[in-house]
Structure formats: C-alpha cells, structure tokens
Structure 1
Amino acid sequence: MLGLSLAACTAPSRTSTSATGPNKFTDATLRQIATAQDARQTAALLPFLDRPEVLYRREAALALASVQDKAALSALMARLADPESGVRVAAAYALGQTGDSTAEVALRERVFQEKDALARQYALEALGRCVSQTGLSMLARLPAALGADTATLNGQAWGLYRAGLRGVTSDAAVGRLIQLLNPANPYRARLAAANALARTRGLNLNSYVGAIANSAQTDPAYAVRSAATSALSKANQSAAVPAVLATLARRDPDYRVRISALRAMTAAQYAPVKEAAWDALTDPHEHVALAAAEFFLTHAAGEPGSIFLEKANRLPAWRPRATLLATALKLGGPEQNAIRAAVQERFVKSASPYEKGYLLKALGEDPGAYDFVTQATFATGQPVVIGTYGIEALVAMRRLPSFPAEQQSSFALTLQRAVRGGDVAIMGTAAEAIRDPKLELRKVFANADFLKLAREKLVLPRDLEAWQSLQQTIDYLENKPTAPFPVATAATHPIDWGLVQAIPAGQRALIQTSKGAVVFRLLVDEAPGSVASFVALIRQGFYNGKNFHRVVPNFVAQGGCPRGDGWGSSDYNLRSEFADLRYGEGSVGLASAGKDTESCQWFITHAPTPHLDGRYTIFAQVVSGMDVVNRLEIGDRIERIELMR
C-alpha cells in the first residue's frame, strides 16, 4: 500500500474518476457491489467475478479483499487467470488480504506464468502473506529472468516483508533483503527490505552491519534510512553500531531518522551513546527530544535521579520534561522524596490535563506516590483524561518489583472501585489489570459478578473497547474460552448513498489545528462508507474543538475522540474498507478496536508505516500541511474541519 514516490505515498485507486467530477458511485452496479461488501455478503459478490464487464470483475475482487471470507478463495484463485491484468491484480490483492495458505500454490504458479509486470508484483506480495516456510525459498530466490524488472523487485521485496511480519523467514530471505538495500534498486524495494529487516522478529543482523549502516547513512530516501536505522538494533553485538547511531541521532537532516537512531540504542550501548542522547534532549524538533527522554527512561541505570530532575527542569516542552521526570523517579536515590514532591507540585500547578496525565504517568514509577495518584485518579469534576492516565499509572506502579506487599490488598480494592465507577477507560484498564497473570489476582477476585454488572451498563457499540476488556476478564476469572466480541452489522449503520453521490471525487477537507492548517483529499472512491461518515460528522461540527490525544513520534498523530483520551466513540460502527492503498507519509486512517469496529477517531501517519497496510481503513491523504502534522503534539486542538469547494 505504499505509493509510487515519496511525494505521493498513497497510491490512488485504478478506478478513480477525475479529481473534480462525480465519484464512481454514480454507477448503480458499483453501489450494489459496495453495499454487498459493506454487509459482508460473499454470496452476493461472487457472481460479479464472472461478469463480462472488466470493471465489475475487478471491483468484486477488491470488495472481497475487505470481506476476507475463505469461501471466496476458489473463485479468486480462478480470477488469477483472468484475461484482463487489472482483474488479476485485484484477485491477487484479495487473496493476500485473506491470507490463507490454501492460496499459496496458485499464487506461486501465477508468479511464473504471469506476463504483466504489475500483476506479477501483486502475486509476489500476496504470496508473502500466505507462504509457508517451505515455499519461502522460491520467494527468496527468483530466477534471474524474473528479477530483471522493477515491478518484480518490488513484489519480491514486499513479499519477503509480508512473510517476515508473519514470522516466516530464513537466512536466504535475509540475505536477499540485504541485497535489495542496494541503492541501485528501486525505492519501493529498498523501503520494503529495510522495513523487513527492522520488523521481522528474532533476526540477528550482526553479520550485515556494513550494508545496513551504509543504507542508514547514505540512502537518499529518509524512510529507507529510518527503517535501516531501526534494523541496527538487531546488530547490537557490533562495536561499530553505537558510533553510527550516535552520528545519526546528531546529524541526520530528517527528524524521523534521528528518532529511529535513538530508539535503536540499547542498554548495552548506554555509555557510548549517552552523550548523543543528552544532546538530543535539546533537538529543535520536540519529537526527537521526547525520543531521547524515552531512551533514558528505558535504559538509564546506576545514576542518581537528581541528575534527571535537573535536566528535566531545563526542558521547555512538557512531554519530554515529564518523561525525564519519570526517569528521575525510577532511578530515585537519596533525593527520592524531593523528586516526588517536585513532580507532585508540577501536577498541582499545571493547567493542561494532558500534562497532568503525563505527570501521573511519571509518578507511576514511584510506589511512594500511590495515595497521591489514587486521589488524582478518582477526583470529581476533572477532565476524564486525568483519570485515564491515573489508572494506567496505578497499574504500572503495581507491576513494579518494589511495590509494597502490604499495599496489594488496597490496590485490589482500587481496581474494584475502578470497575464500579462507570468510566469506560478506568474500568477497561482496571479489568485488564485483573486478568494480568503476573499480578496473580484471580484468587483475589473469585467472583466476577461485579464485572458482569459493570458490563451490562455499557452501551454497544459505543463502549465496545470497555466491553471487550470486561468480557475477557470475566472469561479469565471463570476459566472460560474468550467469548467473541459483538460487531455491529451493516444494517445498524448502512452506507448513506445519497450523501456518497454528493461527494465529488477528490473532495478536500481543511483541518484547522492549533498548529496550523492541514488539507485532506478524501478517498470516496476507495472508502465510501468511511468518507460519508467523516463528511456527516464534519457537517455536524463533531470534530470542532476536539484534541489530538495520541501522538507517537515517527508513527501517527491521532484525534477525533469525543472524550479526548482514545476511549471515546460515536454511537455506531463502520465496516473496514481495505482498498488497494498503502500507508505512506500523510495517509489518514480510521482507528479501530478490530476489524469492522471503526468509528470517529482517525490518525495521520508521519512516514510510511506498511505494517498497517490492509489492517486499517485509509480514507484520506494529506495533500498539504505535512509540516504541521509533523509538529502536532498531544493536546493540540482541532479548531474546526470544513469541506473545501
């Protein structure tokens, strides 16, 4: 789902109409196909795969990529031999989205039979989503005759990436990925290779330090440098890596690469990289400073907390400062009481609920702050986000080895109070803690009736995440298999086709934030239900005044939650729309609690994030204002959103 260039990282649908004209859903048959997709009606979609019209065969195959029903596998595999390459592309994509091993043989055969370069590329990537360990050798060692074109290189690289995400890898696959990092290869192949090396679990890359470090330092594309830098974390036995990471953290021109360098640093490298991390605390980009503070929170040891208190007090940005204060509390020392008092004083004086939340998160490193955090968590008349951060801090505190044994019974009562309190975030987090086997609370909560009572008071689908957490905990306490969670059907919120047809292809939306303006291009052809919901909420003024409640540097900025803490939703759910799109820089996706549970929250990606491809609906693309997106922080406001004419 990555785009064709750095400037356009989200690939448009191959069936999009013009940017100013009507969208494709003026065609009644396409509305019929999309309605069946939305309702997950495989039987209604299958006949379209045999239609004489190429458009309808292709659209039906793409619809099945969202349905993901194994009952469609045979029909989709038959379409791999369709006379039209566009249908073969769509069928391969849908088979990959279904991810069933049944399709492996058909896709492998298609790779060798396919004459169209793009269709072969899609077959290779789809193969990676369902390939077995045995079949991986073919994917890693394509015949030279196949590997001469750009599309095949891209397909092989993405196929190896998709296989790696599933834990399917080999020495030959890793060796091929290293070769694909070569700057002579196309951008998309290098990007896939670097991400595969960074995200495939369990790799030991010490033998490949030279090639990976060269990519991290010299590749012309920031996204490749960033992913290659992340991969260096898997070569931490090499004496050369700390110096490379320190240099990248200080000097790379793109802030996202500097973040990746800080995140790749390990505890074993603490001494040689520490000075670079200190320098990064004053980086002009706040997200880099935060990554540096998180490095110290994760890896600092053997130093008094007072050093970090002093450093924190000199930082202007509240999130890096609060994170460094957490480090000070974690390390403690003779000044522990003074550090705790300083953090609590900042909490009292702060006017920002998000800063208050982060200060409670910091206090979660110190069991001595238990009473203070408990009082703050359950205080009345405060923004809900404070309670959300507070219960998370209490749970984190309880997980510390230093948590006093005599306070454990008090903590259990606090969890019970949280579940009974009625706030969805507090009860959901508390329920998760109760089922944490490391906390051994099953014997304390032998009766799950209080959880069942709380569950019955929730409203679905609005409170689905809290419902899931409570149900999982009830099942845990009663030693039962986890019950399936309820997913709203299309009938509860059908696509408003009247509204969809009124949205021009290429419709733009202006998001005025407290940091500046961002413009989205809405992808109505690819995600009609999601775009219609977004437009309807815009017209209601739903998003005006909401906050960005979640910002993960070099990943996403997320907003649109009516509560402001990520636990809020609308009163309806949408079905996932997994069009043939990829998460690149500035892709706008819908947050969810699982397939077909999307609602009002959305996120913008800072950079290519291919592990999200095909898992979260993409409904828009940033076309201007990425500089604003990259500066957004937790607590920044969505002043208003309006449709542009």
Structure 2
Amino acid sequence: MKLRLTPLALLALLAGCSSPATDAPSAPSPPSAPVASAPSSSEPSRSVLLAEADARRLSPTLTAALASPDAETRAASTLSLGRLHDPAAFPLLARALRDPAPEVRDAASLGVGALEDAAPDAASAALLGALATEADPAIRAHQLFDLGRLATDEALAALPAALASEHPVEREAACLGLANAALRGRVPDASLLRRAATRIPDDASSRVRLACAHALSRVAPAPDPADATAIGDELARGLDDADADVRAMSARALARHPGSSLARLTAATEDPDWTVAVHALRALARRAHADHAEPAYAAQIRALLDRLLASGDVAPGPPLHVFLTALDVPAPMARHGAIHTVAADALARLAAVPPDVPATRDRGLAHCAVARLVDLGRGWPARVDTCGLEQVADHERQVLAAEVLTAVEGSEAQRGVYLQRLLRHEHARVRQAAVTGMGALDTREALAALLATLRDDEDAGVTNAALEALRAAGSRRASRLAAMVLAGDTADDGWPAAAVLAALRTALARVRAADDLEGLVTWIATARELSARELASDARPLARHANLAVRRAALELLAEAGVAPPDGEPAAPPRPLDAPSIAAAPQGRVVLDTDRGEVVIELWTDRAPTTVARFVELVRAGFYDGLTFHRVVPAFVVQGGDPRGDGYGGPGWSQRCEDHRATYDRGVVGMALAGRDTGGSQFFITHSPQPHLDARYTAFGRVTSGMDAVDRIQPGDHIRRARFEQ
C-alpha cells in the first residue's frame, strides 16, 4: 500500500475503492416492485445482505431482497449490490433509483455512480433520469455528486443549473461533482469554472464555498488568460474567508491557479490556522519559483525558523509542520543562492543545541530536512549523511540521500555508483529509495541494476519499487522500448528484451506466491507500459483472481495482447465475514496511546461493520502495539498500522471496501488502499477536510478526542498501545 505519492499510488488515490469492470456475468432479471406491508421475519437480515457484499456475490439473496416490502431491507440490499461494483447489477440499481423509499434511492445512486469505468454512459443516463424526477434536495445532491464521478458530457451538463439552486446542498454537490469529474481527467468548460469560482467569496454556505474551492484545486488553470485571472482573483478573496477550511482550500487551489500576489500568499502563511499556512506555503513556493522571487521565499524560510526556535527549542506539532513544508521545494529552486544561504544558516542554527536542552526527535527531523535542502542546492548528498543530531536513524538518512540523488540532474555515472551502494543496504526502505533513483537514470548500468533487483531482491516493497522504476523508465523510452520488447531485440540504448522479460517473469512468480495485490497490479501496469505482450500468457491466470483490481487489470492486458481469458468463475475473496460476525461487529471506541498523547477513535460500526470488526480484531490481538506512523503529509493525513513501516506491509490478508456517504472531514479515520478491496491494517487520520476521498476510501471512524496529539505526530512516532473500549 498505500496512499503513497508514486504513480501507482496516485492512481489509487484517484480510484480508491472504484474500479473498472470487464468481467461481468449476465444481469439477473429485476425483481418485481415491492408492495408495502409489514416486514416478514423470514426476510434476510441486514447482516446477511452485507455478508453477501463482503463475499462479493451477486446472489439470489440480494436480488430477491430488492422486492421486500420493508424499506430497510431493500436499502441494505441496494447498498450491498452497489458495493460489488459489478455492471451486471446495473439494471437492479437503476430500478432502485425509482424506489418509493428515499434511503433506497440514495443507496442506488451511490452504486450507480461507482460504475464510473464499467458503464458510465448508461449509468449517467439513469442518474439524469432520476435527477429529473427527484424532489428530495439531499438525494439530488448525492445524485449530482455521483454524476460527477461518471464524468460524461451529459453528466457535466447538469452541474451549471445546480450551482444556481436555492438549496445549499445542491450547490455544494455541483462543485463536488465538478471536482470528481476533474479527478477523472475531464477538463470542464471555463464558464463553469468561473461560475464555481464566484461561489467562493459570495455563497452564504461555508460548505458550498469549501466545495467550490476544492473543485478548483483539482482542475488545471483555464487556458484563456482572462478566465484564469478572474478565477484566481476569486480564490484570492477566499483567503479572507471566516472559515479556516475555506481559506485552506483556497490556498491549495492557488497552487494551481494564478491570481494572488506574493505579498498576499506570504500573509496567508501567517494564518492562525496551521493548515492554511501549509497550503499557502505550497502555493507561495510555486509562485516564487515561477516569478524568480527566490529571495523573498528565502526570507520566509528564515522567518519561519525564527518562529520555530522562539522558545529555544523546536516547537512540536503545527509549527514544525509549517517549517518542514517551507523546505519542500524543487531542486532548481534549491540551487538559488538566496535559498542555499538561508538553508546553510538554518542547518547551523539547528545544530546549535542549547547545552541545557537535549536534542529531540523533532529537532533532528528539522535538521535533516534542512540538510536535504542544502544538498539539493549542491547537487550531492553530503549533509544528509550525518544529519539528525543522533535522533534520526541511519536508514532514514540514507533514504534522504537516495531522494537527493533522484531529484538532482547530471553526473549520472557518479549518482549510479552511489545508488548501487545503497542497493546493498540492509534496510528495505533504503533499497526502495535507491531503486527509484536508478529508474531516473538513463544508463545501461542503471537498467542492469533494476533488472538484478527484480531478479534477486525478495523484499515485497523493493520489488514493487523496482517495477515502478522500470515502468517509469519504459515510459520515458516509450516507442523505442515498446518496439524493442515486441520484436525481442536489443535496442541501441542497451535495453535487452530477453533480460527485461526474464526479470519480469521472476518478479511475477514472487508476487504471485505472496499474493501481493499491489505487486500484482503494479506488475501488470509495468507489462502494459512496456507493451510486453509476450507476458500476457503469464498473466492469464490472474484474470480469475479473487481481487477485482487484479482481475480487471489482467483482463485489460489480455485484451491488448489478443489472448483469451481462462474459463470459469473468479476465485472467492479471502476471509469473508459471515452474517453472525457482522451482526456482532463491536460497537465502541479504540484508544491509541501514541508518543504524542492519546487519540480516541469513535468506531462507525453501522456504516462499515466488516472494516470495524477486522480493525478491532487486530487491536485486541495487540497487532498495532509498537507500530509507527510511517507517513505524515501536513494538512492531509497521518498514516500508520504497517508492521514493515514503509507502506507495503499488512496483516497477511486483505479486506473489501465498504462504500457509504460519510464525508472526510477533519479527524475522520479511513482505510488505506492500493486499489479496490486492498485494505488491511493500515489506516489514516485526516488533518483537514479531504473531499476527494469521499466514496472512494472506506471511512470507519472519527477522532473524538486527541486531535491535538494527531497534529503533533511526525514520521516514526509510535503507537505504544491500542485498546478497544466498549
């Protein structure tokens, strides 16, 4: 997993629990319309229906329940059908859009919207028909949200009118739908973007203002300068909003759109809400680099360092998040003299630990972040090798060295020699970072190192990283490499087809033996990038894999290669929960005792019972005790629960997604994914609202106490103990 900023993770972020469909059985006949009467004791319980969804079965039990006279039974059946993401269920879901019960219609809309890749045109037509007759504003809002997921021309055409609705929930949903369409790669009309932008300063509802700023944070700038300027001006006005979430999202959008002065963004970096400051800094860095205003940005780094050290030691939590964000600039910007000078000064100041104050982990992290910035400017990892004031582990420093070597340019031979040494490091995270760096080099030696890693390194995370690196390298060589692999030749630039195919076959055997879902999807994506059709026969068994994401990726590879899929039904998903287990799913809270304090999580058992049941099972087994938060992205999430500590670990099994309507506001707890139905033990907690995760990642709880502790968490902090309380 999971939620990492790699190409695969970016796809996972956009797709989440969504996935295409190409292997659907024929659709069953829709059941007769329900006749209102008292529910029968012989009808299946909600637990029985949710168990069918967890087993990913389009069963007679589910279809028959749609004709129940009990609205709750029909709603549970419809929700379960939607969670299958199976186009064969579409006729049933489309019929449920007309159900007399609002909860059934809402569940049907969620399920139809999930068919964004499988049947977008038919799904869009069904939802538009339902929207035309729906009277409930809340359900209309959800239909607009789901139309955005489908992202057809007809779906987008419904959004402008909704932006003018008298109902705030519909205006909010119109902007959320616009954002969903942008996540699908659609470029909305500039007039629609301008209409959304005007809502940011003017709408009476803060939810609408937030949604519209979010939409603009997801789309590229309008091509016409006049449109782009007008949109940017409205976003700049959003920086003055009374609601901190709107200010933060406006700043986030300004990283993509012109329209705010350096002075205005600089002022926003001093916002009393730290998430606003973080997003303003990211926008400011882009603007400063584009406008050749590095000296002004350097002055901002110096001011933030002064603030960080105002008490004599590094201030934990938000001040550190803000400072670390300011240091995260591209290598060309780091080379500017003003940036390099302030970074060198900051390195010295952080190293000057007061004699009566022992160095802290936070100070060590800040010292290493500054060392990385210095090394980016110098073009070589000299300072990170010894950074951290003895508070940062060797493997963490070597990961930083690999990141520097990946980001800088030139000296490919020397960088390759250094990375070769890191490929022999005992820690898997270092080897992952090193193999990523090798993928950025256009040398025969780098290719040989990638292939050797795929062949010999049995670590799952390293294998995944090597596949991604090979995929990226193949993308850069696109037409030459594809032609070479197809022909079985060796290209002039040293890409040996036979060696590439052999290494990929070895890697496939490894990830298949481990049933590494992320590895399997990454392997297929790499084979497709290289147009390695010879590997289609090797992937043929994966077309009947139990996991939907693996199965459908394999089917796409087979279709491209003209290879028929195997006969038979897909394998059954592992460890499905039965109805009694779902009915007995624990209700209560989980308390995380972390290095930064207690975090209390209220569990959403009713919304995500199978996820909660498995999470509590791990908590009771002591699985989380001693694990770290391996990933922290300021103003986004903290993520933990990986026994490996690198994002590739889990409990040894996977669980299915549970789609529902909860929104990712601040403090919501979600299941980390690397694609549909790939959840395990890793979870994340949001620092701030993240609407792009809604209906894509299973939300299964909310922090009710301890968000101040969450805000202080840094990578490497521990969950000392997790416990469940009734």
TM-score (norm 1): 0.85
- The verdict on how the C-alpha distance between 1:113 and 1:340 changes in structure 2, with shifts beyond 3 A counting, is closer
Distance 1:353 1:521 in 2: 37
> Which residue number in structure 2 is paired with residue 493 of structure 1?
575
State how far apart, in whole Å, the 2-side matches of 1:347 and 1:529 are: 42
Q: CA deviation at 1:476?
A: 4.9
**Is 1:590 aligned to 2:671, yes or no?**
yes
Higher mean Cα deviation, 348-357 or 613-622?
Answer: 348-357
Query: Cα distance 1:95–1:185, how it changes in 2: closer, same or farther (>3 A)?
Result: farther
1:22 is aligned to none
The equivalent residue for 1:121 is 141
Measured at CA, do residues 536 and 497 of structure 1 come closer, stay the same or move farther in structure 2, by a change above 3 Å?
Answer: farther
Match for residue 59 of structure 1 among 63, 72, 76: 76
Matched, 1:428 2:464: yes
Please give the alpha-carbon distance, in whole angstroms, between the structure 2 residues aligned to 1:642 and 1:616. Answer: 24
Note the C-alpha offset of 1:352. Answer: 1.9
CA distance in 2 between partners of 1:540 and 1:596 (Å)? 23
Whole-angstrom distance in 2 between the partners of 1:142 and 1:342: 55
Contact 1:446 1:477 in 2 (8 A): no
Deviation at 1:297, TM superposition (A): 4.4
The one of 427, 437, 455 equivalent to 2:474 is 437
Q: Which stretch shows the higher mean deviation, 472-481 or 91-100?
A: 472-481
Residue identity in the other structure for 1:521: E
Are 2:455 and 1:374 aligned? no
Aligned with residue 96 of structure 1, among 113, 122, 140: 113
Q: Give the alignment partner of residue 630 of structure 2, picking from 537, 540, 549.
A: 549
Residue of structure 2 in register with 1:226 after alignment: 248
* Counterpart Cα distance in 2 of 1:391 and 1:132: 39
- Distance apart, 1:148 and its partner CA: 1.6
Change beyond 3 A, Cα 1:452–1:347: farther
Equivalent position of 2:640 in the other structure? 559
Separation in structure 1 between the aligned mates of residue 431 and residue 718 of structure 2, nearest angstrom = 20
Greater shift in the superposed pair: 454-463 or 28-37: 454-463
Q: 1:628 to 1:354 in 2, by over 3 A?
A: farther
> Cα offset for 1:62?
1.7
Tell me what 1:23 maps to. Answer: none
**What is the alpha-carbon distance in structure 2 between the residues aligned to residue 196 and residue 29 of structure 1?**
39
For residues 643 and 636 of structure 2, the distance between their equivalents in structure 1, rounded to whole angstroms, comes to 22
Letter in 2 for 1:215: G
Residue 98 (structure 2) aligns with? 81
| Paired residues of 1:199 and 1:231 also in contact (CA < 8 A) | yes
Residue aligning to 1:165: 183
Other-structure match for 2:300? 276
Cα separation, partners in 2 of 1:392 and 1:71, compared to 1, 3 Å:
same
How far did residue 625 of structure 1 move? 0.9
- Are the counterparts in 1 of residues 200 and 212 from structure 2 also a CA contact under 8 Å? yes
8 A contact 1:554–1:606 mirrored in 2 = yes
For 2:400, give the aligned amino acid: L
CA 309–275 in structure 1, closer or farther in 2 if over 3 Å, else same: closer
Task: Please give the secondary structure, in 1, of the residue aligned with 2:599.
Answer: strand
The 1:415–1:172 alpha-carbon spacing in structure 2 relative to 1, beyond 3 Å, is same
CA distance in 2 between partners of 1:85 and 1:358 (Å)? 52
Write the distance in 1 (CA, Å) between the matches of 2:683 and 2:133: 41
Q: Is 1:391 aligned to 2:435, yes or no?
A: yes
Q: Is 1:410 the equivalent of 2:445?
A: yes
- Quote the RMSD (CA, aligned, Å): 2.8
Residues 640, 299 of structure 1: alpha-carbon distance in 2 compared, 3 angstrom cutoff: same
The answer to whether the 8 A contact 1:242-1:269 is kept is no
Q: CA deviation at 1:290?
A: 1.3
Distance 1:357 1:547, change over 3 A: farther
Q: 2:141, 2:475 → 1: CA distance?
A: 45
- Counterpart residue type for residue 609 of structure 1: Q
CA distance in 1, matches of 2:109, 2:665: 21
Letter in 1 for 2:431: G
Structure 2 residue matching 1:575: 3-state secondary structure:
coil
- The equivalent residue for 1:20 is none
**Residues 1:244 and 1:84: Cα distance change in structure 2 (over 3 Å):** same
Q: Could you list the per-position Cα deviations for residues 80-101 of structure 1 after superposition, in whole angstroms to 9, with x for gaps in the alignment?
A: 2222222222222222222322
Q: Letter of the aligned partner of 1:495 in structure 2?
A: L
Q: Secondary structure at the match of 1:518?
A: strand
Structure 2 unaligned blocks of 5 or more: 1-42, 309-314, 351-361, 486-490, 548-570
* 2:336 corresponding residue in structure 1: 302
1:491-570 matches, within 5 Å, as 491-495=573-577, 497-505=579-587, 507-570=588-651
Q: Are residues 72 and 121 of structure 1, via their aligned partners in 2, closer, same or farther at CA, if it must alter by over 3 Å?
A: same
Work out the CA distance in 2 between the residues paired with 1:59 and 1:644. 28
In structure 2, give the amino acid aligned to 1:212.
L
* 2:505 paired with 1:452: yes
Which deviations, in whole Å up to 9, do the C-alpha atoms of 1:120-178 show, x marking residues without a partner?
2222222222253255333212496xx22233323333233323333151123212212
Q: 1:48 aligns with which of 57, 60, 65?
A: 65
Q: How does 1:464-475 map to 2 (within 5 A)?
A: 464-474=517-527
Q: Percent identity?
A: 29
User: Which of these residues, 275, 278, 302, is aligned with residue 259 of structure 1?
Assistant: 278
Give distance in 2, aligned partners of 1:522 and 1:261.
33
2:386 aligned to which of 338, 345, 348: 345
Q: 1:322 aligns with which of 339, 350, 368?
A: 368
| 3-state SS of 1:42 partner | coil
Q: Does 1:287 align with 2:321?
A: yes
Deviations 1:462-505 (A, max 9, x none): 53323433444455556228756744455421115554444443
The answer on whether the counterparts of 1:516 and 1:628 sit within 8 Å (CA) in structure 2 is: yes
**Displacement of 1:52:** 0.8
Equivalent position of 1:311 in the other structure: 346
Counterpart amino acid of 1:360?
A
Residue 572 of structure 1 aligns with which residue?
653
AA partner of residue 328 (structure 2): E
- 1: CA distance between counterparts of 2:476 and 2:403? 21
| Distance change >3 Å, CA 590–CA 189, structure 1 → 2 | same
Alignment check: 8 A CA contact 1:79 1:88 kept: yes
- 1:358/1:278 CA distance change after superposition, 3 Å: farther
Residues 297 and 323, structure 1, Cα contact 8 Å, conserved in 2: no
In the TM superposition, what are the counterparts of 1:81-230 in structure 2 within 5 Å?
Answer: 81-99=98-116, 100-142=120-162, 147-166=165-184, 167-203=186-222, 205-216=228-239, 218-230=240-252
With over 3 angstroms needed to count, the CA separation of the structure-2 counterparts of 1:303 and 1:163, relative to structure 1, is same
Q: How far apart, CA to CA, are the structure 1 residues paired with 2:514 and 2:105?
A: 37
User: How many residues in Structure 1 have an aligned counterpart in Structure 2?
Assistant: 596
Alpha-carbon contact 1:277-1:295 (below 8 Å) kept: no
Shift of 1:33: 0.8
Aligned to 1:7: none
Shift of 1:618: 1.3
Q: Does 1:331 align with 2:377?
A: yes
What is the aligned partner in structure 2 of residue 11 from structure 1? none
* Residues 158 and 139 of structure 1: CA distance in aligned 2, closer, same or farther (over 3 Å): same
- In the alignment, the residues of structure 2 paired with residue 135 and residue 534 of structure 1 have an alpha-carbon distance, to the nearest angstrom, of 37
